[in-house]
Structure 1
Amino acid sequence: MRTFKIALAQIYPRLGDLEANLQKHLEVIEDAVARGADLVVFPELSLTGYVLQDLTYEVAVPLDPTHPILRPLLEASMRADLVVGLVEIDERGRYYTAGLYLSQGRLIHRHRKIYLPTYGMFDEGRDMAPGDQVQAFDTRFGRFGLLICEDFWHISPPYLLWLDGAEVLILTSASPGRGLGIPGKLGSAQWVELVNQAYASLFTVFVVHVNRAGFEDGQNFWGGSTIFDPNGERILQGPYFDEALLLASIDLDQIRRTRIRLPLLRDERPALVIRELQRILNR
């Protein structure tokens, strides 16, 4: 299936309330499926809320398919593939900001957030451990990559996913509004959209960004979810600040057409990059 319909679930999670957020996920999935969605993408920490602090330890979920939070989502993934966000606890009691890709009742891929911001208003490194892996993965639609918020603002993770064959880069975030951009737009929204468009153009892939909405601890999350195509054209734009369920069709064959015109992947030289990185590290 090279053409599929994707739904961007720009929701307002309830801080620390797993049960309420699970119910919201299931309702949104039902609505998206009724509208023909093949894949539903939720934002960063969609099942828990973002400003967790000490709540982190109360809402963490082990990746056990029988867990009462995961089991209903795995069942729902029989109707549409899902990307959901949560706090994962591993077998050694470490906590991660994680994104899960669920399909046909199975966990297909788990990404642990690599870059944990600890500047300005952010202090994620206090409670979370950083992930240490960047891998693309195969879905029933094509090969995808999944990153979480700060991961995308470093060029190396999307670059690695591109080299690993990802045709769609999925970015989930809980990005609060900061600064001033062009008239009528937040600085943070303007910057994120420029970065997403740049990656779509440079890597000739689809870039899907789902940002949450709502308020927590004085922070206003700006929404504004987008999809950019391999030509860098914006094909979907969500509203700022409000909840929304947005749908668009993606034709992965567009990637082939774009890369015939612009063969950047063909001409990339990863061996040169490895050699020069080693030189820099050895200085």
Structure 2
Amino acid sequence: MKKRYWKSLALFLITLMALPAPSWAQGYTQTKYPIVLVHGLFGFDSLGPVDYFYGIASGLSSGGARVYVTSVSASNSTEVRGEQLLLQVKQILAATGAAKVNLIGHSHGGPTSRYVASVRPDLVASVSSVGGVNKGSKVADVLVGAVPNVTYDLANALSGLISLLSGSPTLPQSSRAAAESLSTAGTLAFNARHPQGVPTSACGEGAYQVNGVHYYSWSGAKPWTNALDAADPFLAVTGLAFNGEKNDGLVGSCSSRLGRVIRDDYALNHLDEVNQLIGITNLFETNPVTLFRQHANRLQGQGL
């Protein structure tokens, strides 16, 4: 009887060791290279107590990851933001002694990260696009064709205020350049110059690895997710621009695809994807912080 007990215990322990590490395990998010988070349009690193990637940086670092949150122009062209990000990547590498970084960009942060990987692939281990505008946004298409100059002026003022409050008052702002970059035509031109990881079919996957850089993406597909979230009515309205196409309120699911597609149909909207508004997201979907932690573990498994 005792012998059978010890055999059963040994079998249980062997089985337990073979299972994937739970998300709370020590070292679960500890990647080889630092993780660098890149915000989207009208984004910031932090505004007082509110982080753009709300609770995500701490959620990653608690599992062992080295995490850096960058700050680029709240609104500007992809190339301008990309050059700003490249400078910060070099600073992070100099400070840490790491050879490369893992870039994770949300919304406009997706193509911004892709720019850096395209011009300096030797500095980038991976690019992960979260709700990224990789083939344009129909919302941007509407804005480019209909918004008067005064609206761009107001948007520039808002962008300047965001940068000022987040501690980066000298960053240049151009909401018109941002809208043009995020439009279907602007993104098509950008992709011709920087095609790495972009699917060649309408709604497929792109190359998983190009020039040594690994490409991943995931996104939501539900504009309205929580009645308590003040941003949801706005996203429900902007989502109408997609005429029934699956979208997160600002980006179509097919447009969000890049490299290896984890999923493009989480029950999350564009702000939920980064755990906004201050953590008010869909209670019936995987928590966004968990999605980022799972992805860090995925990168860890790839030796990144």
Shorter-chain TM-score tier? 0.3 to 0.5
Structure whose CA Rg is larger: 2
More strand by share: 1
Flag the structure with more relative contact order, 1 or 2, with Cα contacts below 8 A and sequence separation at least 6: 2
More helix by share: 2
TM-score normalised to the size of structure 2? Answer: 0.35
